[in-house]
């Protein structure tokens, strides 16, 4: 009897697992073009790129305050990627972001090499001002960026 109960439970679990596996991916419907549009919609425009950038911006700041230069460098590199990905989806924003990508980020990279909190803070303010400037060029000046005041991440040096 125990053996039959075990087989029943095992069969039930396997059947449930197979049903879940079969259901994955079925929300993308339509012809190939419609499916691509669904996937593009999931990636969205530039807003999700800015969510990640905002997170990385905060982590960069706190890494500099902790003098955790390797983590700061890591976050700086990670800031660039979502912006580039966002520009791929929204190329009309490229001219607004060029200064940030070609001047501001490389300057911050050089500042990190100095491993000096004073130099970091000065360059972080330049980075912040560049964010504000880009937002103004994109006609969203109400997206005001300010230096973080509360740490949300548990990562510490």
Q: How far is CA 69 from CA 100, 127, 130, 157, in A?
A: 21, 17, 21, 9
Instruction: Please write the tens of the pLDDT for every residue from 48-84.
Output: 999 999 999 999 999 999 999 999 999 999 999 999 9
Nearest to 64 by CA among 119, 16, 138, 4: 119
Q: How many CB atoms lie within 10 A of CB 137?
A: 14
Which stretches of 58-117 are assigned E, i.e. beta strand? none
Which stretches of the chain are assigned E, i.e. beta strand? none
Query: Which range, 2-11, 28-37, 43-52, 64-73, is most confident?
Result: 64-73
């Amino acid at each position: 009897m125990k053996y039959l109960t075990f087989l029943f439970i095992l069969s039930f679990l396997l059947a449930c697992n197979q049903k879940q596996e079969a259901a994955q991916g079925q929300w993308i419907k339509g012809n190939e073009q419609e499916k691509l549009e669904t996937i593009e919609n999931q990636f969205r425009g530039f807003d999700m790129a800015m969510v990640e950038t905002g997170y990385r911006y905060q982590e960069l700041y706190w890494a500099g305050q902790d003098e955790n230069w390797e983590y700061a460098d890591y976050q700086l590199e990670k800031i660039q990627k979502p912006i580039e990905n966002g520009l791929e989806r929204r190329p009309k924003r490229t001219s607004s972001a060029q200064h940030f990508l070609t001047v501001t980020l490389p300057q911050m990279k050089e500042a990190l090499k100095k491993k000096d909190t004073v130099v970091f803070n000065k360059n972080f303010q330049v980075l912040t001002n560049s964010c504000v400037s880009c937002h103004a060029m994109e006609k969203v000046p109400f997206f005001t960026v300010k230096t973080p005041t509360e740490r949300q991440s548990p990562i510490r040096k």
